[in-house]
Amino acid sequence: MAKKNTSQNKDSDKQKQLKKFTLDPKDKPLTTRQGLKVNDTNNSLKAGERGATLLEDFMLREKIHNFDHERIPERIVHARGSGAHGYFELYESIEKYSKAGIFTDTSRKTPVFVRFSTVAGSKGSTDLARDVRGFAVKFYTEEGTWDLVGNNMPIFFIQDAMKFPDLIHSVKPEPNNEIPQAASAHDTFYDFVSLTTETLHNHIWVMSDRGIPRSLRMMEGFGIHTFRLINGKGEAHFVKFHWKPKLGVHSVTWDEAVKISGADSDFHRRDLWDAIEAGQYPEWELGLQIVPEEDEHKFDFDLLDPTKLIPEEMVPVQLIGRMVLNRNPENFFAETEQVAFLPGNIVPGIDFTNDPLLQGRLFSYRDTQLSRLGSHNFHQIPINRPIGEVHNNQRDGHMQMEIPKGRTAYFPNSLSGGCPYLSTVAEGGFEPYQERIDAKKIRGRSESFSDHFSQPALFYRSLADWEKQHVTDAYSFELGKCDHDHIKERMLWLIAQIDSGLAKKVGENLGMKVPSKIEKPINQAIGADANVKDHQPGKKKNYLDKAPALSQANTKFDTIATRKVAFLVADGFNMKDFDNMKKALEKEKAMVKLIAPHGGTITCDSGMEHKVDASIMTTESVLYDAVFIPGGEKSIKALLTKSKFVKFVDEAFKHCKAIAVTNEGVQILESGNMKDFKTDKAIFQDGKVKEFIEAIAKHRNWERMEVAEKIAI
């Protein structure tokens, strides 16, 4: 009897299994929930390619309606959030552009509630995930509630709301194993990104330091979409909204983010809360980029495309007011968790455009809030209530919290004197902008949306060398977590369309060559044949060599307010050195934290007791912005008995932070792995207080990065 070839049988079984899961595309046509075959799931139905999205688009409503109701009770996206109360003040009236009271009345102090969030993770995920951050502001104006619901990046991943469920499904934990949480470094996300090239601009922002901010107080905010401002004459201007932080825009390194997630996963939430409790109120200035309607088509990109920004070098940002957050919530659930933001909440003087992503959000947000909060009466929850009186004929329903009076609930009526009555435009009644629409119903996308490479290339060109290195490292880490080579090859080819040098470096880190071509280098490669042709990415343009405003190297470096400085001390530390530095730092509104070998208190060389903020075993270097070590022979000897103090300083050096020592404190530096620290521009000996403060304000000494990278921690 012939002996069976076991190896061949195993290979045969494996091939059968692979064949079992390899389906012909014709086996599973995409359908609606009613079995209707779908020929386009990438574009909403519009009045012309650049026209408004139509309410009759049942496919859009079915797709988003299902997506909005997938999970309860936490938000499907932006589940992990932190909030605070504050106010907005206008610097000067812009009645030339808008009749909105918030933009014309400088005597007002408009209450606001702001919610910051990560996008992909669950409520229990870490604050330090590499992710887009939500930046949503609820203005309680006298004319009604206005919600500016944006992010910390000026663009979004997709151009049409029809693609939003696909985007989020790809970045969420993979459904077979619910891995990974709050992370984009996995195959399904990069499979989607590599086949949907419109994502590349927002994606490179996430790969940059913008994806891991130092603090919620140190990041920009953007309205993302192009909106309209309407003045008293009914004239319209296009506008993009910006929030500019007074503290500048700063980030942490990826190595820090990983370690902070373990040391304090609530790092951003705690930072915001502590700053407000300490009276260090975060501030942002509201800026506008205003474009006359007649200039709508003068750019090399489409103003209605939410994956495009307007470079500030082309249209400057006008700063018109400031927002201050000065009060923490009394109850997290009642306020931060129950707050409901709706892009459709606007006031007279502000209106929408035909941006197809914005148009879809106008439907989606109300639908998802209804699902999450359980009732259409969610506007009656205290955090969501407008400050003005509400009068209408809408009645009853689940969780009705008001007691409407009177016998009529219809319009028109005579039994209630015609009340509530309709307001005229002159009385503040809302009137939509009268835009002429004359187009065929079409499920498609304008050719002007097809440029997917120019702006990510501009972004990368505009970065400082250290920022570019961080982008390289981020792509390398993320793609290194993917298992499928064909996905990595597609991504390398696409990165090469942004910058060939960047792609080459990432390829070297992956051990792969950048392909000269790929089989289907197109957006929506798996779409219907008729639409594939329409979605070829356009050729890269260079309409601006660099946009300096895009680089964090050009942010504000003029303050150390709220920066946390770790003082490494033990019994017997030099009180004179300690007090001199502490007073100087606190004068500049920095926060001094005492780190000691143990908790409780320690005693200086003057016999005074000092409360310890954290023992060395309960904290990490990554939680602080700078380090100071006062002298004192007894203190330094005690610190050197615990190796973590040396590691603490080495890690601060590795992350390019400012370090200062006095007298015997230099022994800690000499005991570590730092080479040539005496020539480092951000390491100071002998009490150079002024220079130390200036170095902290610069955020990091990036000149140190090449040397610091060689230190193993």
Residues 397, 375: contact at Cβ < 8 Å?
A: yes
β 236-245/227-230 pair status: antiparallel
Please state, in angstroms and rounded to a whole number, the distance separating the CA atoms of residues 655 and 250. Answer: 13
Please state, in angstroms and rounded to a whole number, the distance separating the CA atoms of residues 269 and 78. Answer: 14
Q: Rounded to a whole number, what is the distance in angstroms from the first to the last CA of the chain?
A: 63
Closest CA to 352 of 437, 226, 237: 226
Name 471's Cβ contacts closer than 8 Å, sequence gap at least 6: 204, 207, 208, 460, 463, 502
Say whether 242 is catalytic: no
Question: Residue 654: what residue type?
Answer: K
Q: Calculate the alpha carbon distances from 397 to 15, 51, 367, 594, 637 in Å.
A: 58, 35, 16, 55, 70
Please state, in angstroms and rounded to a whole number, the distance separating the CA atoms of residues 668 and 658. Answer: 15
Residues 181, 122: contact at Cβ < 8 Å?
A: yes
Interior angle at CA 314, CA 351 and CA 302, nearest 5: 50
Count CB-CB contacts under 10 A for residue 334.
13
Look-up of token digits 């309407």 = 230
Q: How far is CA 117 from the centre of its chain?
A: 7
Count CB-CB contacts under 10 A for residue 520.
12
Say whether 610 is catalytic: no
DSSP H or E run through 651 = helix 643-654
Q: Single out the catalytic residue among 43, 78, 237, 701.
A: 78
Q: How far is CA 29 from the centre of its chain?
A: 36
Residues 468, 386: contact at Cβ < 8 Å?
A: no
Please state, in angstroms and rounded to a whole number, the distance separating the CA atoms of residues 376 and 388. Answer: 19
Look-up of token digits 């194993």 = 177
Classify residue 518 by burial, with Cβ atoms within 10 Å: 0-12, 13-18, 19+: middle
Please state, in angstroms and rounded to a whole number, the distance separating the CA atoms of residues 512 and 619. Answer: 39
Q: How many CA atoms lie within 13 A of 89 on its CB side?
A: 8
Please state, in angstroms and rounded to a whole number, the distance separating the CA atoms of residues 518 and 232. Answer: 54
Q: Single out the catalytic residue among 42, 43, 85, 151.
A: 151
Residues 161, 364: contact at Cβ < 8 Å?
A: yes
Q: Which two tokens stand for residue 72?
A: 């309860």
Which residue numbers are catalytic? 78, 151
